[in-house]
A and B are shown apart, each in its own frame.
Chain A
Amino acid sequence: MAATNDPFQFQEFDEAGNLLEANRDATTISMEDDDTEPQKQRSAAGFPPDADNEDPLDTDDTTELLSGQKKSAPFWTFEYYQKFFDIETHHVKERIFGSVLPWPGRNFIHVYLRRNPDLYGPFWICTTFVFAVAISGNISSFLVHSGKPGYKYTPEFQKVTIAATAIFSYAWFVPLGLWSLLLWRNNKVMSLVTYSFIEIVCVYGYSLSIYIPAVVLSIIPFDWVRWCSIVVALCLSGSVLMMTFWPAVREDHPKMIIAIMAGIVMLNALLAIGCKIYFFGKPIQAPAIDSPPANESIKAASST
């Protein structure tokens, strides 16, 4: 692939006279070649049995550490962030399918992400989810209210802002909290498995992908359909997270295991049920939920 691309690159280089571009692309291609080989082997091998789990893990850890040292760039440079976008279309597809269809015993980080966590998937899945939930919430409220006297359609654009705040803070602050919690527990109880912050962000981002079809299905104006789709999405997403973080907390005290797992599931359920109630609420509930911000704004207006 690199050989076929090279003449093209140099043409571009001649035309644009852009030395930086050509160089950067060349390094990406070589990194890509390094990374795709083990990735393919791993997915071809499938999930290794549990007894053999520890050894390949450890070697993977050391190789990751070494490779990280080899191509480390300071965090303010563009190259540092470029390595989180070093993926191809088929990787993203595999990861999305892996997060939508969790398989018992298949750890998302070990099977799909190892050595190469990306930020492309989490970012664009979150953005898609924001617009999907805002737009389908708007369509569903139109379908519920249409035909009633005195109803005037409004785009409800402020829902996009609310959805963006809720979803992006879930996808970034929860991993941050979980990462610091795991770091702290790892100091107390030696665990064989540690995850980096980017890996946790990546798992959380991809685990949201199942919610996108779920909220699109929620357009159907029957309450039981909405609850079903949200609960199914909640179970799938929750099970991906549970299976991923199980090895990291397995060595801990039973109380801590229960607390961490319950925390993960509770926050996930909070997001799912919050989305269902706020964006696809019952027609009677909708004004009741919408009224507190209006009251606040009135208060703020009167106080100023």
Chain B
Amino acid sequence: MAAAEEASRPFAGLSDVSISDDIPVEGDISVPVGASRRDDELSTLDEPVKETILRDLRAVGNKFVHVLYPKRSSALLRDWDLWGPLLLCVTLALLLQGGAADSDDQGGPQFAEVFVIIWFGSIIITLNSKLLGGTISFFQSLCVLGYCIMPLTVAMAVCRIVLLSVSGTVSFAVRLAVVTASFGWSTFASTAFLADSQPPNRKALVVYPVFLFYFVIGWMVLTFSPSQ
């Protein structure tokens, strides 16, 4: 019967918005009037600034935990932010300052050089993976690469403590072990997040630049030697 009705009025669907009786309609489609007060409580406009900041910090901390324990979840990918990468990058660059012979030009990397290597490096790696046909978005990839610097930043802090206390071959051996472990950790964590977005026969092409990137950062951390 309904078919015959439709055939007689071919454009009925455009004008008639009423639903015929034989289609069961379920669900709550009324405008939620009573819920408006609850919305006000949750609004980010009215809450104290402390809560806003704490929520963002909690999101950043949550991502740090994801890097430390890299299980293949998409939480780090979905809500990307660049606060954590900025924090890690600035910390690493500051810790790398005050190195050997800052005055002459034989010294270690300057603050700007570290900054440029980290940001341009991750941008180039991201472009590379996009050009190879990756399905991950630009800022997601930047976020993952930035957060995965964390083991190397921790290694840098450990290296400075080691350099304060012991010196000589023992110091170098400890630093080498710490930097190697954190380099492996960074590469492993970032590939756990990034490699899934690639076609299987191109994974190695995407992983190699990531490996090189963390290797260079690891090298900068390892060769840091303080001025006397």
Chain A residues engaging chain B, CB cutoff 8 angstroms: 1, 5, 9, 12, 15-16, 18, 21-22, 24-25, 28-29, 78, 81-82, 84-85, 87-90, 92, 120, 123-124, 127-128, 131, 135, 138, 152-158, 293-294, 297
Is B201 a contact partner of A138 (Cβ separation < 8 A)?
no
> Whose C-beta in chain B lies nearest to the C-beta of A20?
B137
Docked complex Cα distance between A21 and B113 (Å): 33
User: With contacts A127-B212, A155-B107, A155-B108 known, is A87 near B205, CB below 8 A?
Assistant: yes
> Whose C-beta in chain A lies nearest to the C-beta of B207?
A89
Question: Closest CB of chain A to B224's CB: distance in Å?
Answer: 7
CB neighbours (8 Å) of A293 from chain B are 105
Is B100 a contact partner of A88 (Cβ separation < 8 A)?
no
Within 8 A of A (CB), among B200-228: 200-205, 208-209, 212, 215-216, 219-220, 223-225
Query: Does B101 have its Cβ within 8 Å of any Cβ on chain A?
Result: yes
Q: How many residues of B contact A (CB 8 A)?
A: 36
Is A155 a contact partner of B109 (Cβ separation < 8 A)?
yes
Of the candidates A28, A29, A152, A155, the one whose C-beta lies within 8 Å of that of B224 is A155
Chain B residues engaging chain A, CB cutoff 8 angstroms: 74, 99-101, 105-110, 113, 128, 130-133, 135, 137, 197, 199-205, 208-209, 212, 215-216, 219-220, 223-225
* Chain A-chain B contacts (Cβ-Cβ < 8 Å), number: 95
Is B105 a contact partner of A294 (Cβ separation < 8 A)?
yes
User: With contacts A18-B137, A82-B131, A120-B128 known, is A156 near B106, CB below 8 A?
Assistant: yes
Is B128 a contact partner of A131 (Cβ separation < 8 A)?
no
Question: Closest CB of chain A to B120's CB: distance in Å?
Answer: 11
Docked complex Cα distance between A15 and B202 (Å): 22
User: With contacts A81-B131, A88-B202, A152-B100 known, is A158 near B105, CB below 8 A?
Assistant: yes
Closest 4 CB pairs of A and B: A85-B131, A155-B223, A28-B133, A155-B108
